[in-house]
C-alpha cells in the first residue's frame, strides 16, 4: 500500500499504461486505502488529534485519513495533485451530510496547498503516503513540505510515513514483481526497498526537527486474490511494469506472487510494519 501507496504516479519514461482512473480510484478507496488505518489511528492517538486540531493532509487520496481525523473533531484540509477521481471521492466522503461526528468540524479538499489557509495556522501536517519506495518520491515530498510548512504554526507536528524493514513486510516479495518487470524503467516509477533513514533525511532537508517515531503493524488482508491484485494495482506501484510489458503479464505474475500468502479459505494475508516520524516545524 503505497504502503507503498503511491496511487497517482505514472512513470515518466516509456509509454504510460492505459488506466481506467475511475475504476482505480474506486479500488483504492474500497480495497487498499483501509490497509493503513492502524497507522492513522496510532498517529492521531499519539498527537491527541481532536477538537482543537487544524490538520493539513498532504497526498490525501480519497480522504479516509481525513475522515478519521474529522470524526475526532479536527478541522481538516486535504491536498492531492493526483487524478481528480480521487479528490472527487474525498469530497463526497467529507460532505456534511455524508458523516455525522456531532463536533461541528469542517473539511476542505483541494488539488494544491491552499495559499489562504495560513490563518489560523495548521497545528498538524500529515504525509501518510509512504515514501522511500519509488525513485524520486522523497524529493517530491520535500517540495510539497516546502509549500506546506510555512502555513503551520511554530512547533506544529509534521508526520512522515514509510515502509518498515523489508524483512518485516511480507508484501515486499510481491512488490519486487513490479521492479523485475519494469527493468530497465526501474528509475521511472517502480518500487524499491525502503531505507532506514528515509524519513529522517526528508525531515532534515525540510528543516524540520525530529521529535519521536514509531512502528505500526499494518497487515494487508484481502477477500481473495482478485481483490488483492486490484488493490495492489491501485497503488500505482506497478505502472512502470505495465508500461514495460503489458497488463496481462503483470496480472499473471502478481497473481503467482500472491500464492504463498493465500490461506485455506481463499483470503490473502500479508503482515507488514510501517514507520512514522513526527517532526516539528521551527
- What CATH number is associated with residue 54? 3.40.50.150
Of residues 195 and 274, the one with the higher pLDDT is 274
Residue 2 — pLDDT band, cuts 50, 70, 90? very low
The residue-averaged pLDDT of 162-190 equals: 80
What range defines the domain where residue 57 resides? 21-166+192-219+273-280
CA 169/CA 261 separation, integer angstroms: 12
CA 56, chain centre distance (Å) = 14
Interstrand relation of 268-270 and 220-222 (parallel, antiparallel or unpaired)? antiparallel
**Which residue(s) pair with 40 in the sheet?**
none
Do residues 205 and 143 lie in contact, with contact meaning Cβ atoms separated by under 8 Å?
A: no
CA 141/CA 159 separation, integer angstroms: 12
pTM of the model: 0.88
In a domain, 206, yes or no: yes
In a domain, 130, yes or no: yes
In a domain, 67, yes or no: yes
In a domain, 75, yes or no: yes
In a domain, 201, yes or no: yes
In a domain, 261, yes or no: no
Handedness of CA 100, 234, 33, 117 (dihedral sign): negative
The residue-averaged pLDDT of 95-110 equals: 65
Number of domains in the chain: 1
Of residues 245 and 114, the one with the higher pLDDT is 245
CA 141, chain centre distance (Å) = 12
Residue 19 — pLDDT band, cuts 50, 70, 90? confident
Residue 100 — pLDDT band, cuts 50, 70, 90? low
Q: For 103-130, how does the pLDDT look when each residue is reduced to its tens digit (9 = 90+)?
A: 445 788 988 888 765 567 999 999 998 8
- Output the nine-digit C-alpha cell for 130: 509512504
Residue 4 — pLDDT band, cuts 50, 70, 90? very low
CA-nearest of 273, 259, 282 to 145 is 282
Kindly state the greatest CA–CA separation across the chain.
54
CA 59/CA 66 separation, integer angstroms: 11
Residue 192 has pLDDT above 90, yes or no: no
Half-sphere exposure of 167 (CA within 13 A, CB side): 1
In a domain, 262, yes or no: no
Q: For 36-90, how does the pLDDT look when each residue is reduced to its tens digit (9 = 90+)?
A: 999 999 999 999 999 999 999 999 999 999 999 999 999 999 999 888 999 999 9
In a domain, 29, yes or no: yes
Amino acid at each position: 500500500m503505497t504502503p507503498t501507496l503511491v496511487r497517482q504516479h505514472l512513470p515518466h519514461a516509456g509509454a504510460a499504461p492505459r488506466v481506467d482512473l475511475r475504476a482505480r480510484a474506486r479500488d483504492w478507496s474500497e480495497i487498499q486505502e483501509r490497509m493503513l488505518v492502524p497507522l492513522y489511528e496510532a498517529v492521531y492517538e499519539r498527537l491527541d488529534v481532536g477538537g482543537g486540531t487544524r490538520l493539513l493532509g498532504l497526498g490525501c487520496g480519497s480522504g479516509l485519513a481525513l475522515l478519521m481525523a474529522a470524526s475526532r473533531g479536527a478541522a481538516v484540509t486535504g491536498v492531492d495533485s493526483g487524478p481528480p477521481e480521487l479528490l472527487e471521492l474525498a469530497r463526497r466522503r467529507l460532505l456534511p451530510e455524508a458523516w455525522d461526528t456531532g463536533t461541528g468540524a469542517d473539511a476542505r479538499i483541494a488539488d494544491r496547498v491552499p495559499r489562504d489557509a495560513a490563518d489560523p495556522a495548521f497545528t498538524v501536517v500529515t504525509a501518510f503516503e509512504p515514501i522511500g519506495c519509488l525513485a524520486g518520491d522523497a524529493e517530491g515530498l520535500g517540495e510539497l513540505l516546502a509549500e506546506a510548512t510555512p502555513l503551520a504554526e511554530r512547533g506544529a507536528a509534521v508526520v512522515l510515513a514509510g515502509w518498515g524493514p523489508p524483512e518485516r513486510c511480507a508484501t515486499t516479495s510481491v512488490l519486487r514483481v513490479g521492479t523485475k518487470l519494469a527493468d530497465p524503467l526501474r528509475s521511472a516509477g517502480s518500487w524499491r526497498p525502503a531505507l532506514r533513514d528515509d524519513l529522517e533525511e526528508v525531515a532534515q532537508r525540510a528543516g524540520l526537527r525530529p521529535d519521536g517515531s514509531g512502528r505500526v503493524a499494518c497487515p494487508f488482508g484481502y477477500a481473495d486474490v482478485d481483490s488483492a491484485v486490484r488493490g495492489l494495482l491501485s497503488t500505482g506501484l506497478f505502472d512502470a511494469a505495465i508500461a514495460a510489458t503489458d497488463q496481462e503479464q503483470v496480472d499473471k505474475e502478481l497473481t503467482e506472487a500472491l500464492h504463498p500468502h493465500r490461506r485455506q479459505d481463499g483470503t490473502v494475508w500479508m503482515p507488514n510494519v510501517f514507520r512514522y516520524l513526527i517532526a516539528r516545524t521551527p
